[in-house]
Amino acid sequence: VQLQASGGGLVQAGGSLRLSCAASGSIYSINAMSWYRQAPGKQRELVAVITKGGITNYVDSVKGRFTISRDSAKNTVYLQMNSLKPEDTAVYYCNADVRITWYNSPHDYWGQGTQVTVSS
Q: What is the pLDDT of residues 19-43, one digit of tens each?
A: 999 999 999 999 999 999 999 999 9
What is the structure's pLDDT at 79?
A: 98
Which of 6, 57, 61 is CA-nearest to residue 32? Answer: 57
- When pLDDT is cut at 50, 70 and 90, the band that residue 111 belongs to is very high
Count CA atoms within 13 Å of residue 42 on its CB side. 14
Give the E-state strand segments of the chain in sequence order: 2-6, 9-12, 17-24, 29-38, 45-50, 56-58, 66-71, 76-81, 90-99, 107-110, 114-119
Dump pLDDT digits (tens) for 47-77: 999 999 999 999 999 999 999 999 999 999 9
